[in-house]
Structure 1
Amino acid sequence: MLAGATAPALADKTKIDFWFGNQGDIAQRVQDVCKHFNESQSDYEVVCTSQQGYANALQNTIAAFRAGKQPTVVQIFDIGTLDLMLSGAYYPVNKLMADNGYKIDWNDYLGGVRSYYATSKGDMLSMPFNSSTALLYWNQDAFKKIGKDAAPKTWEEAADDMKALKAAGYDCPMGIDVSHDEVWQLMEQFSATENQPVASLNNGYDGLGAELVFNKTSFVKFVTDLKKWYDDGLVKLKSAQAGEDYVAAFADGHCQMTLTSVGDHGQISRTASPDMHWSVAEYPIYAGAERKNSLVGGASLWVLQGKSPAEYKAAAAFLNFIAQPEQALWWSSNTGYIPVTKTGYDFMVKNGFYDKAPYKGREAAIQSLTASDPTPITRGLRLGGMPQIRQEVGNALQAIFANQTSVQQGLDDAVARGNTVLRRFELTYKGKQLP
């Protein structure tokens, strides 16, 4: 009787909760990952629940942790990294994996990815998951009409191309979005590729006392140029296109270039006309600048404190499953995201992933993230309140393009308001040291 009574308990799977922020089609792909893991073994079951947005995932996790009802694993977006780091509410992923018998070569992770989620000593605190970076999308058919067969490598060349496209009768040579949701593609990616700081103290990596400085860098020139190109009809804004989304505007052939995430590559592949020829390239830089690695966008997976050894064993198994090269191939095939490890990338190359449509060209994102070893500026951002800071920058850019303020004054105002956010964050975590 005793043996019979205990057998079902021994056979029970260890269940863990995984909360994630993705919505829509990507949310379904995350559910597929969970399903594949659950079907791959019989010891564990991961229950995956969308929190309907990255910000919601962070806020809900904080509330759940305070109530003692936190998930075992949670997906936190890139700009929420500092909040988790300073919370002390996590089980460092490098320690989790080692404690559960997994030998992970953390140096296998792409430098631009690894540096964002690691301590100053290089110890990984969370597991990179859905990663992206910004690229230049360009219409090869339109460029052929102006005698070009390659995307512009510099902003000077891009300006010449836009003028030629306008002269050739194209209404929208380039479409961009200056809303707060897309500020990262302009301010953060531009600053990284040009090795320009967004904030002092090496973008906050050296302490919570960092102050925003993007109003004193070549970002000012970039915004000035964008505004001039807009005034000259070479650049169109999402808000100035009667509600037309800038990604859709590129896919339907209205805009001949756009700056957006590699994560949109899949959507454009599905929605562009079959006879439209287009490709992607690395983010342009100014002539004379030395190209540096772009920043990783997306999110990583954090394992939270307060769980049992059995639950941590399940979490480690789940993260190890996700890290396999075969999963990198599946994930990239079914989303626009990129592999986060060299091994995963090499596996995809070996399997011909980048050789044919609709995936051909996505290797530009890997080239962008690995354009250089991360510098003290291009490791990423360690700034608190980044969602609010992006909101301030987005508001400033919209005011600049609407002629409500000058470029310099608009950026000065955004910096002043953003620094207020940073000082508030610093007070919240007074006395805390960055890991």
Structure 2
Amino acid sequence: MTVMHKLHGLAMAGVVALSAGAAQAEPVEFEFWYGLTGDLSERIQEMCQTFNGSQDQFKAVCTSQGTYDAAVQNAIAAFRANKQPTVLQVFDAGTADLMLSGAFVPARELMEKAGYDVNWDDYFPGIADYYATSKGELYSFPFNSSTAVLYWNKDAFQKAGLSEAPKTYEEVETAARALKEAGYACPYAYDVDPWQFMEQFSAVHDLPIATQNNGYDGLDAELVVNQTRFVDHVAFFKRMTDEGLFQLKEMGQARLQSFMNNECMMMQSSIADHGTVGKTMPDGVAWDVAMVPVWEGTERKNSLVGGASLWALAGNSPEQYEGAAAFFAFLAKPEQAEWWSTVTGYIPVTNSGYEYMMDKGFYDEAPYKGREIAIESLTYTPPTANSRGIRLGGFIQIRKELRDALTGIMAGTTEVQPGLDQAVERGNAILRRFEKTYAGKQLP
């Protein structure tokens, strides 16, 4: 039984009707559970305090659950006691599970019944399509959004006789060899996190990850990453690793730390790390970001969004839903988008937020310059069937199978094709269990 199937069984039948509530002497409290920690958790707490101070009708009680997985698991337990939060942060990989659970109030319904007129077309398609139904309706609100970019050390490149970031993987190899020749032991650091290693690669190269348009068209989808150019891409990384030009940095934040410590000169990572790199990189070291490379001859497509969206869970009171709607409207303000991007490194999710920041010269300021590359990457083309997102059930577990296989390949415990074949076989078994769990149902 999947995580969200449990939610389906625990959710109250039907959706609680929303209505305008009478004015309260005390603010109506509603809970917001999220899966971020550390500095990001502190920023969310600050955001909640600002919302609470901006009006006196509602009070958001915002609580970190530690991780994305824990936030979902704790929500399941809370449903059993009828104490589920009103708002839950769910990361991208859990979208299909949530959609089929029935344990939520759709975003459009929530806002309309609370009296808000939302311009849904304002959301960037490259972000909205990941969280939208096949008809384009958003069920949740994009929140902390990012995409992958290439980080590169400009000082090291200059010493190696290079002046620009590589645009192709052929140029990545050339740069890595020049950096090695210039005395840099680690030209390129990477890990095999499927989100940035496989999913971003497949999107920008317009390659399928699964049949049925990456799962959007049916629960009978099957993984195909062992049949696309991704196989050659993995083989390239294995060869570069064996030659000592690339280094696998798998433990915790090892990849990020190696770049910030001026140890490795290139890495692919989330744009959300931009602020952390800026704070941590040694003073005086010049660095920058660029769109992730593609193989020569590729007609580049938009990259995939990462991060999470906010869902209004079923089984709460009409007054709490009014509070949630007010909270979502607050988060959608351009001024709030600017603040969120300033303190975290995440990108605005709407055209209006992005234009507001552009008009103020946000991306011209040194600490934030380069973050616009993520917007350019996400909006590089209109999303295709392969670059709009992934709608696969049990995708959290599938990612783990793929990561384990890729780690084994890079470590030399298995060959490239057999390793990917085995991961796909295990991943497809997860998909078949998910399909059986939701037999007779269709993705919206």
Using structure 1 for the length normalisation, give the TM-score: 0.95
1:74 is paired with a residue whose SS is: strand
| AA in 1 matched with 2:35 | G
Q: C-alpha separation between the residues in 2 aligned to 1:294 and 1:62?
A: 32
| AA in 2 matched with 1:374 | P
Match of 1:86 in 2: 100
1:68 is paired with a residue whose SS is: coil
How far does the alpha carbon of each residue in 1:83-125 deviate from its partner, in whole angstroms, 9 at most, with x for none? Answer: 1100011110011111111111111111110101111111110
Q: C-alpha separation between the residues in 2 aligned to 1:72 and 1:140?
A: 46
Q: C-alpha separation between the residues in 2 aligned to 1:354 and 1:267?
A: 17
Post-superposition offset of 1:9: 8.5
Post-superposition offset of 1:147: 2.5
The 5 Å alignment of 1:36-435 reads 36-178=50-192, 182-239=193-250, 245-435=254-444
Structure 1, unaligned runs of 5 or more: 1-7
| AA in 1 matched with 2:57 | D
| AA in 2 matched with 1:279 | D
2:226 is paired with a residue whose SS is: helix
Mapped contact 2:23–2:57 kept (Cα < 8 A)? no
Q: C-alpha separation between the residues in 2 aligned to 1:391 and 1:308?
A: 37
Q: How many residue pairs were aligned?
A: 423
Post-superposition offset of 1:430: 1.3
Post-superposition offset of 1:74: 0.6
Post-superposition offset of 1:149: 2.0
Match of 1:22 in 2: 36
Post-superposition offset of 1:312: 1.1
| AA in 1 matched with 2:230 | F
Post-superposition offset of 1:357: 1.7
Post-superposition offset of 1:403: 1.3
Q: C-alpha separation between the residues in 2 aligned to 1:389 and 1:261?
A: 20
Q: C-alpha separation between the residues in 2 aligned to 1:23 and 1:84?
A: 22
User: Could you say what the CA RMSD is over the residues aligned between the two structures, in angstroms?
Assistant: 1.4
Match of 1:4 in 2: none
Q: C-alpha separation between the residues in 2 aligned to 1:25 and 1:172?
A: 29
2:197 is paired with a residue whose SS is: helix
| AA in 1 matched with 2:89 | Q
| AA in 2 matched with 1:75 | Q
Post-superposition offset of 1:311: 1.2
Mapped contact 2:24–2:57 kept (Cα < 8 A)? no
Q: C-alpha separation between the residues in 2 aligned to 1:123 and 1:383?
A: 18
| AA in 1 matched with 2:66 | Q
| AA in 1 matched with 2:396 | P
Q: C-alpha separation between the residues in 2 aligned to 1:237 and 1:30?
A: 32
Post-superposition offset of 1:48: 0.5
How far does the alpha carbon of each residue in 1:153-204 deviate from its partner, in whole angstroms, 9 at most, with x for none? Answer: 11111111111111111101100012xxx22110101000101011110000
Q: C-alpha separation between the residues in 1 aligned to 2:314 and 2:405?
A: 39
Q: C-alpha separation between the residues in 2 aligned to 1:251 and 1:151?
A: 17
Post-superposition offset of 1:399: 1.1
Q: C-alpha separation between the residues in 1 aligned to 2:331 and 2:23?
A: 28
Q: C-alpha separation between the residues in 1 aligned to 2:23 and 2:288?
A: 55
Using structure 2 for the length normalisation, give the TM-score: 0.93
2:436 is paired with a residue whose SS is: helix
| AA in 1 matched with 2:441 | K
Q: C-alpha separation between the residues in 2 aligned to 1:411 and 1:90?
A: 36
Q: C-alpha separation between the residues in 2 aligned to 1:203 and 1:365?
A: 23
1:302 is paired with a residue whose SS is: strand
